[in-house]
A and B are shown apart, each in its own frame.
Chain A
Amino acid sequence: MATGKHWLSVANAAIYLYILAPVIVVLLIAFSGTSSLAFPPASYSLRWFTHFAHQPELMHALGMSFTLAILASLLSLVIGGAAAFGIVRGNLPGRTLVLNGLMLPLMVPALAIGVSFLQFYTLFGVPSFPSLLLGHIVITLPYVVRTLVAGLENFDVSLENAAVSLGATRTQAVLRVTLPMLGNSILAAALFSFIMSFENLPIALFLSGPSTVTLPMQIYSYITWVFDPTVAAASAIQVAIVVVLAVVIERVVGLNRLISLR
């Protein structure tokens, strides 16, 4: 028994190491004091972060990625939320078909989505930013729909009915009872969307224009020309944002769970 448990934790540690080691390498290189990508770095400094901050293209791309991820998440929440309500509450005959359709972007290779969007949007002359935003909404929607459908299915409708019987309109009941109680699912959906959009390269590869370059896109083109730890710094910033978001929301969701569910 004791040795079994021992081996289990060794295996655990090995798997974590396997997953995290490349990230740790990048993080360490980001703090390198030299201009080579050698690992481990000969010395440490913050110079590559400063360098990053002085690259207008990278800073602009960071801002673009932020804007895009926030807009894509918000719109995904609105569209996906409405879809989830329809799928769970509505009496649609093609319920599963609609659900599977919305899940499709998870199965189709992102490059294929990028190419098809490029052709489609060019055909209709959609400008770069809206097409990029629409593309990101398509890839973030499955995460929102999946999370909210699960949340709504676990939600006891009699709570909403109780609110209505106590005098609330259906809209008031949804706003004051259903949505607050789905808070965890909504937060999780928003987080997923943000991260998926923030890190996405394949869509941007096809739909980015000169004024709408995203951070992953900018990093990608930067390393084709220059080979210094600036990209590592950029990646470190990306990782930091995602990790901070995950931790913050884990805290909030965890706290919420403590308050609302026994």
Chain B
Amino acid sequence: MKLLIKGGRVVDPANDIDAVMDVLIEDGIISAVQVNILDREGTVIDAAGKIVCPGFIDMHVHLREPGFEYKEDIATGTRAAAVGGFTTVCCMPNTNPVIDNAAVATFVRERAAKAGVVNVLPIGCISKAQAGHELTEMADLVAAGCVAVSDDGNPVSDASLMRNALDYAKMFELPVLSHCEERSLTKNGQMHEGYFSILYGLKGIPAAAEELMVGRDIKLAEMTDAHVHICHASTRGSMELIREAKSRGLKVTAEVTPHHLVLTDEIVGDYDADTKVNPPLRSEEHLAALLQGLLDGTVDCIATDHAPHHLESKDCEYDLAAFGISGLETAAAVVMDGLVNTGWLDLVRMVELFTIGPADVLGIDKGTLDVGTDADITILDPELTKVVNPAEFYSKGKNTPF
């Protein structure tokens, strides 16, 4: 079966391509990327005026299955991903049971093959039961298809365990994804600590709580010569630490989320729990630093931290509400609208941050339009405008601040 994508602006940062070209696909594999391909056999997609790029990769998604299917499942989560332009998602292991062994990882992959509509790459836990005490069987997790390890949402507080995790994961070239949060500083915290937390009377989450652990993990990555990846970096201090680590050639990578790039803590004032997320929405100075990080290469990729929740855990008192934003279906549009169309970020860099950026962090053969690779392709319509309507989300999580 042949498919020809004709006349689009092909943006493939890994191959330094940004030109009007055609993409020919045969049996699900990219067979040619050239100017004006003549092919009369296959189906033709007219992509004139559109942007044709490698399929987007979201390396930080909570699909909630198994265990929390009332929040999201693999069928709905992967449909939300597809609608959002993502052809590959990595799912975090804080399910029930957690993905701390090969059996659960295999279950997720089998469910994804059956019910999913995009590639699903599981992330295994760092520690058994995500409890922060003993390492998981990482060789087994890798064999079962895990592409990284993380105790996301449950930061590894024991520095010694984190050291061992980095050291051990290195053998399998597994990145260790770190949710950086010094919990003793964030207890009962609801929003970014600063002027607006005073104004709204909500307990603050200081930027330093994130930066302390970013600093620790960089030091540990240095001593173990291992790869640490900083999840959802959200502060100026984190940017400075990561930038400095990279300048010294350490294996430190980082992601930022779309919401941390365009929303500030000011919007928490309505006490609408859809603005409640961890790390919290920060102040202007942090936003500016994140943007700088995107531009200068401190940040490797954009990831959504898609965290769908059911209505009851968001439609309540702010302090009681769950943390998280349902992000898959708005991510590309938010970055396009908020950063590209406003001139802050160039389109090619945006595509890089959604494609080869995360692929390189994970060391997977995705994120390019290389001939011979899977035809994971995203087509963006730069003219399309839609009003965000959570009721129309494919995701079960309607929790969006947009």
User: Do A and B interact with each other, yes or no?
Assistant: no
Binding site for A on B (CB under 8 A): none
Binding site for B on A (CB under 8 A): none
